[in-house]
Structure 1
Amino acid sequence: MNQTITAAFAEIPVCASVIGPTRVREFAEAAARVGILASIPVGQLPKIVPVLARLGKTVMVNIDSCPGLATDRSGVDFLHEIGASGVVSTRVAPLERARALTMLSMHKVFVTDRSNLNRSVEAVKRSTPDLVELMPAPIIPWMSEEARSALSPFVAAGFVADKSGVIHSLATGALAAASSDSGLWSLTRAELRQGAQ
């Protein structure tokens, strides 16, 4: 497991899903050290990514969702040049390129049924990412132990809307939970332990 990621989630096991440029300030001010930037136009990324990096944030960019950002080699190279920590994608090729540049890679997986799950496991075997973003979180307990192991380490995402959702995600074996609810972006493991009692 990547030591940067392990250290980043050591105290705050929540990954900030930062959807759109208006949410960036909230992430900058939150205790969460890892964030996924999504739906941010390519022209704004060079202004945002370096600032967050200087604040000590691990900045992952969802290359599939940022308007104007190519999902090919040139797009990954651009993210590397502006200082992004890593790339998030449903596609294998950008993740392979990110790894070649020693960037972090997160394979986004949507589980809709068993056949889709099997295809996702095969894709993750090809991409060999540092992390899997596994969605939706409520389906994870229904997955086999073998499937969860094949998709590990993973961040549980989708429908994580409160503290109990984070606790539930961690209980399924997730390294962290991803949420767009900024009220969760500073939850510590100590606070979660209290909530679980």
Structure 2
Amino acid sequence: MPLPEGIFDAYLFDCDGTIADSMPVHFVAWRQTLATWGADFTEEQFYAWGGRPIVDIVTDLNSQQGLTMPVAEVAALQERTFHEMLPQVKAVPGVLAHIEDAYGRVPFAVVSGSTRASVTASLTALGLLDRFDVMVCAGDYTLGKPEPECFLLAASKLGVAPDRCLVFEDTDYGMRAAAAAGMAAVRVPSPLNRS
């Protein structure tokens, strides 16, 4: 996974689908969770909405499908279901190689639309939690990806100018957020597009 030209003083990583090859597992957890309420969530829509906070997804599914799913309850169940499946999750090889190569030379942050509990569980399962100086998760910012707020907050916490940060992302929303923050980015291929 080649990096863009430039000198970067910090690496900002999305978690699900970027560090953790967890998107297929998250999709299964979503499908199992939403079946309880009769909600439909296609794989295409799931990947298109990648990077969005769980509560936003449930709210929008309610609106689109005329449902009244209890947002907090659905979000909690989706997280519990995903956590039960964590042993199936592995690291994305190309991203893991960059983490191993740059660890100790470049400060890292995780910038995720998932909750802190979910990100912590994923990184712990992968044995990578201690690699990250900063975590910015759902609840730490107001406007989620594609807005740049989460990436700008991570850069601020690391004390690095936005234009000196390199973002690793797997979603359109995340790539748009990185661009809006004035940051260079590496697009991590989806599981279907990795060689």
TM-score by length of 1: 0.29
TM-score by length of 2: 0.29
For CA contacts below 8 A with separation 6 or more, give which structure has more relative contact order: 2
